[in-house]
Structure 1
Amino acid sequence: MNRSQASAEQLAFYDRIDQHDMAPLWEVLKGLLPQEPKSPCVPAHWRWETTRPHLLEAGRLIGAKEAERRVLVLENPALRGRSCITQTLYAGLQLILPGEIAPSHRHTATAVRLILEGTGGYTTVDGERTPMHRGDFIITPSWSYHDHGNDGAGAVIWLDGLDVPLVRFFDAGFSQQYPEDVQPLTKPYDDSLACIGPGVMVDSGEPVAKRNPLFRYPYEEVRSKLHRLHLHGHVHRAHGVRLRYINPATGGWPTLTMAAWMHLLPTDFAGDAVRRTDATVFCVVEGEGRTQVGEREVEWAPGDVFVAPSWTAVAHRADRGAVLFAMSDRPVQEAAGIWREVAA
């Protein structure tokens, strides 16, 4: 019911209940229970040729220790000032220069990272140091001390994805600095990867935990699997050859709040359009192509990031082979029983 159509008696009633912090549901019911999702997010695209120079300029202007995390936040144009790329996800591009260390801290929010450039980078998570190679997918679990460094000769850059907006929604955010810039190493180098292989992992005798025991997923292994699956004809009409990252201990999503995939779009791929309730962030690892996101066509190249809002039709195209990384809040939606995907 539109308030402009209300009677004088009804308007007087609304004024009285307003003084007691109450409001009529019938005025907002259709907005609270829409026939289909109507996201405030909009399609957006950040080109590597633009973001990288700005990130390097930030490297000249502020030190890694001074900034704590030298990151340029990718803000959805419709959500400026909220440090989010979708309603539930934060994304940013982080830079570590040679010899620098991003000091150790921990926070409630879970982080995932896709390495975009450089060699010699590393991250240390709860006493285990793990290398960073281009295309690697790396996880920093919730409330885990972590620091980053660069022993190489050039810049190391990666895409950060965190569930900060989701944690903020629950008013459940905590953070803590480690007493020193660098935490002590208490485990062998890249130990989690050494303990886990195809279909097997070290059995400690303890019950399986929900926390993912694996921190780094090497791109060379994922890329090899994508190639083999393509040769064997595993090409989805909408998603191409798609691998989901999993928690090897449970077979579930790599984190409790964020899903991640790697897509191979074969040469001359023209994908069917789909709509999904999970707004999705894409990052280009290899190749060039274009994606129709609603009414907007995004022409992308390596290092580009783009976002598809919830329930927006998405269709990928690639004249030559390309690889796309993707992340979303699908695990949370599945746990709530509200996730959907349909042909557009």
Structure 2
Amino acid sequence: MVERPNDQRAQLDALYADMTPRHLLPLWESLHALVLPEPKSPAVPWQWRYDDVRAYLMRAGDAISAEQAERRVLIMENPGLPGWSAITPSLYAGLQLVLPGEVAPCHRHSQSALRFVMEGLGAFTAVDGEKAMMEPFDLVLTPGGQWHDHGNPSPAPMIWLDGLDIPIVRLFDASFAERLGTAAHPETVPAGDTLVRYGHNLRPMRGSTADRRPGARPMFHYRHATWRPALDAMATTAEIDPHLGHALEFLNPTDGGPVLPTLSAHVRLLPAGFQTRPRRSTDGSVFVVVAGTGEALVGEETITLEERDVVVVPSWMTLTLRARSELVLFAYSDKASQLALNFYGEQNL
């Protein structure tokens, strides 16, 4: 005998009520929301105007020291993710300020981080005791587990964008953190030593005493003075990609893969007047305007782009870029994680 719908509903409701105290749930009631036909991020497109955030950051500089805060950072929290301290479900972003004479104390943690310099000249990030002297639009990495501190001996404020995989580490409940106990790591080699040894498509012979950096990821400083001429040179000779513009990825020189196990980073150049064709991908991305002006069409929203603005493009939202003047962008995303886990997808429209 086939049960009538009302009888079935009553039977199921009784089953659910009996299961609930035992922390059991019926998959058939939620399968449609757990296994989606395509990505649907809770994050929303958003823009942070650099001048606005900078004003709040300087007020924070008057109110709390870098030592007291450990890291004086304003988190860029996506409006669609209240309480997450995240810019996408898998990415963290914030602007950090180190004032003249300050040191942000030395620590290390499971999370991997990248720093993209927004303003200032002459401050440093030290990784395992080696200083990377930072200039605007340099990319500096602090891989997970490596000691790092920041200092600013220059006469001007230093501000950079922090990008971390905090939500990814949180997902796996794998966070460890440790303070060194002194403000700065003892200097182990001269500033820029890694660039000399590993930054020219060459490396010290494996096993030699000169091969001092971790074998899997030796490089941690990618200078604007190097990547921008490379991007400009490619733009003069290469056919432009209709969906990306001219684009270069930052690579780990040991294997040609992403710069960090969880995070990928790249730069783009769009000539004045150029408009990309729509494209979407599963990696939520954070963009910084390095130079020029234009617009980003993210889904149905149009965002005006000006220098040093930060824009988030959530997963699987269509992105079209328009360049009013020559437009240069930096971006980082969770593409490295998705590639490693065989999740990544993209679509040119």
TM-score relative to the length of structure 2: 0.95
**Which of 246, 259, 263 is the matching residue for 1:258?**
263
The 3-state SS of whatever aligns with 1:91 is: strand
Contact kept in structure 1, 2:121 and 2:154, CA below 8 Å: yes
Matches for 1:301-320 after TM superposition, within 5 Å = 301-320=306-325
The 3-state SS of whatever aligns with 1:332 is: helix
State the distance in 2 between where 1:4 and 1:151 align.
75
The answer for the alignment partner of 1:295 in structure 2 is 300
Q: How many residues align?
A: 342
Contact kept in structure 2, 1:94 and 1:157, CA below 8 Å: yes
User: Is 1:89–2:91 an aligned residue pair?
Assistant: yes
Amino acid at match of 2:167: P
User: Is 1:152–2:157 an aligned residue pair?
Assistant: no
For structure 1, the residue ranges without an aligned partner over 5 or more in a row are none
Contact kept in structure 2, 1:211 and 1:255, CA below 8 Å: no
User: Is 1:198–2:203 an aligned residue pair?
Assistant: no
How far residue 4 of structure 1 moved from its aligned partner, in angstroms, is 9.8
> CA 1:88/1:210 → structure 2, altered by over 3 Å: closer, same or farther?
farther
State the distance in 2 between where 1:4 and 1:42 align.
40
The answer for the alignment partner of 2:246 in structure 1 is 241
Amino acid at match of 1:7: R
The 3-state SS of whatever aligns with 1:34 is: coil
State the distance in 2 between where 1:4 and 1:67 align.
60
The 3-state SS of whatever aligns with 1:269 is: coil
TM-score relative to the length of structure 1: 0.96
Contact kept in structure 2, 1:123 and 1:148, CA below 8 Å: yes
The answer for the alignment partner of 1:56 in structure 2 is 58
How far residue 16 of structure 1 moved from its aligned partner, in angstroms, is 1.1
The 3-state SS of whatever aligns with 2:80 is: helix
How far residue 210 of structure 1 moved from its aligned partner, in angstroms, is 6.1
Matches for 1:1-344 after TM superposition, within 5 Å = 7-205=9-207, 211-344=216-349
State the distance in 2 between where 1:214 and 1:174 align.
23
State the distance in 2 between where 1:45 and 1:292 align.
12
The 3-state SS of whatever aligns with 1:231 is: helix
State the distance in 2 between where 1:235 and 1:174 align.
43
State the distance in 2 between where 1:313 and 1:198 align.
37
> CA 1:5/1:109 → structure 2, altered by over 3 Å: closer, same or farther?
farther
> CA 1:6/1:232 → structure 2, altered by over 3 Å: closer, same or farther?
farther
Contact kept in structure 2, 1:123 and 1:129, CA below 8 Å: yes
How far residue 219 of structure 1 moved from its aligned partner, in angstroms, is 0.5
The 3-state SS of whatever aligns with 2:140 is: strand
Amino acid at match of 1:134: P
For structure 2, the residue ranges without an aligned partner over 5 or more in a row are none
State the distance in 2 between where 1:174 and 1:198 align.
34
State the distance in 2 between where 1:280 and 1:185 align.
35
> CA 1:4/1:65 → structure 2, altered by over 3 Å: closer, same or farther?
farther
